[in-house]
Chains A and B, each alone.
Chain A
Amino acid sequence: MDGAAYPGSFRDLVDDRVDEGVFRVDRSIYTDEAVFEAEIERIFEGGWVFLCHEGQVENPGDYFATEIGRQPVFVMRQKDGSLGCFINACSHRGALLTPFRQGNARALTCRFHGWAYDLGGRCIRIKNEEGGFSDPEFSRERFNLRRIGALGSYKGFVFGSLTADVPPLEDHLGAAARWIDLLANQARNGLEVVPGSSTYMIRGNWKLQAENSVDGYHVTTVHRVFASTIANRETRDATVGMRQTEAGRIKGNVPTGAYDLGNGHMSIWALHTTPHVRPIYESRDWLEENLDPVEADWILNRGRNLYLFPNVMLMDNPSTQIRLMKPISPDLAEVTVYCIAPKGESKAARAARLRKFEDFYLTAGMATSDDIAALEAVQDGSLGRLSRWNDMTRGLSDLVAGPDEDARRLGFEPAGCCPDWDHEGLFHGFYRAWRDRMENGAAAA
């Protein structure tokens, strides 16, 4: 580490004394440069992160360019249908190889000096090779692209790690895998990423976005105005059917829950009061006939947000979303959102899904924009160092270790359960995983 090395112990930043009724985090974790540098190295570049959905690299030669921490990579669909992921830099002088964020190529040719690589990252052409590398022993193989350390896919969701020193993907996902199932298994023909995306900048720390995505407690304050706006619309327009928006979860007084899923993953759910307005409801008969009844019930009747440590959120609430997060600096994160939807759903369901997405989820929408303002306010307030701690003890006395009845019935093993999404016990798991990774790097994952 350079001069930004952290002078103290990361352990001291998470005051974890649940037995004494204390769980709080030092607000400097949102603002400190040295903390951030260690996060990039030990969390984002030191373990599994989400890369893309397989639907974004469907055919051989399809590529998706992204970053792992600060390092540019691209996922490439191979000729045999498998996936490869490589550092996105020419082996010669380091220029990015992909002209677009997403595209298709028979080979990637560097636009700087014309070196070319096949889909498997092999260097297949060096411009004027014979004039520059005349050694008879010369082999282009030394210029093959650098593969990342580990690559895996679960139900179409693709994850990668720069280091090979990581547990199997299934172990990393753990209890969260069952929550991915709830999104993937609802689509009898598979999921697809809908054309169009939106990228926005948050002037806040990436962990605030992580917290916010599974913070049920803010919903009845920050999104009260969304609920009242929608209520006003539906009265004015006498809205019926899928054009209606589920607002029960925002008004409160519905059954909810929250889970610490282990390894830093978290989730929340709320019962829908009007499940028939959801686009998935048209598949009810198929879901009830073909899935386990408990799973079908979760899909149809419970809105869900899932956070997968450290960089992606999968939402199945008013609409369905992949929210990919990239940390830029302690006080800046870049977020890209995609609508993900069942292939082959009806035109009416697809249009309704898109309208609900646009209503709620975007920085140009009527709810996510308010979320961003809220977490940016936390970022700014965290500079008040004289007041040091963020408290996360709400619901402590109701926190259950291990699975509750719901978890047992659906079949997943959370580390902790909150019987109300207003409770904050799920964040304990997030910050314990964060603390362990910060102290030990990827080996702890």
Chain B
Amino acid sequence: MNGDGIDAGLEREVAALIAREAMLLDRRRWDEWIDLYTEDAVYWVPAWANEEETTTDPETQLNLIYLRNRGGLEDRVFRIESRDSYASVPLDRTVHLIGNVLVESAEGDSVEASANCLVHVYGKKGAATRGSLYDFTFRRVDGALRIARKKIVFIDDRLEGPIDIYHL
């Protein structure tokens, strides 16, 4: 146990899962990436409401991406794999770098964690490095941790697009 009462083994498991997600995105292993999510997973990238605050309620406010189940991720992968998306051919190259992984709480099968992510992108528009704040809820399904909710605060708000799931 660490000082916050979080099991060190759980911290390692969470850090490995977040790193694994990043690896699968960077290496375009889309189906394995989707398998990290629960069927009912929520994937949420809020918009900025003003210079200092993001939107907070997807039911009444605009978001960059708000997917209410794993099917939403499948839509994104379907579009990328179709090779019919102007914005996705050729695909940008990405390198995700994860840091500051912190398990915030663990209760029963549910684990809350946060992390930071820098994504270095290289594509036809050149190179860019952009930062995000991650908030996760994980749920243990058949013994394995899965992502039940991921909120991404993408700190840029003058976006050099496209912005798709592998850029975040």
Contact = CB atoms under 8 A, between A and B. Distances in A.
Interface string A352-383: 00110110001111100111111001000000
B78 A232 contact: yes
Given A197-B62, A363-B162, A363-B163, A203 B47 contact: no
Contacts of A100: 50-51
Contact of B162 (A196, A222, A364): A364
A371 B85 CA distance: 10
Given A197-B47, A197-B48, A364 B75 contact: no
A198 B159 contact: yes
A163 interface: no
A362 B48 CA distance: 13
Interface in A315-373: 334, 338-339, 347, 350-351, 354-355, 357-358, 362-366, 369-373
B65 A358 contact: yes
Interface in A215-244: 222, 224-226, 228-230, 232-233, 236-237
B35 interface: no
B59 A351 contact: yes
B85 A370 contact: yes
Q: B51, B62, B71, B157: which has the most chain A beta carbons within 10 Å?
A: B62
Contacts of A363: 159, 161-163
Question: Size range of the interface on B?
Answer: 35 or more
Given A229-B75, A372-B161, A196 B48 contact: yes
Interface in B38-56: 45-51, 54-55
Contacts of B158: 199-201, 334
A247 interface: no
Interface in B82-139: 82, 84-87, 125
Contact of A364 (B54, B58, B65): B65
A224 B76 contact: no
Interface residues of A, number: 45
Given A225-B84, A229-B79, A198 B59 contact: no
A236 B74 contact: yes
B151 to A, nearest CB: 14
Given A194-B60, A334-B158, A364-B163, A372 B87 contact: yes
A197 B87 CA distance: 21
Contacts of B64: 198, 358, 362, 364
B30 to A, nearest CB: 14
B164 interface: yes
B60 A350 contact: yes
A358 B63 contact: yes
Contact of A196 (B55, B71, B82, B159): B55
Contacts of B54: 196
Nearest to A370: B86
A274 interface: no
Interface of A: 100-102, 194-201, 203, 222, 224-226, 228-230, 232-233, 236-237, 334, 338-339, 347, 350-351, 354-355, 357-358, 362-366, 369-374, 377
Interface of B: 45-51, 54-55, 58-66, 69, 71, 74-76, 78-79, 82, 84-87, 125, 157-164
22 contacts: A101-B50, A102-B50, A195-B60, A196-B47, A197-B48, A198-B157, A199-B157, A225-B79, A225-B84, A226-B79, A229-B78, A230-B75, A232-B78, A233-B75, A354-B58, A355-B66, A358-B62, A358-B65, A364-B164, A369-B87, A370-B86, A371-B86
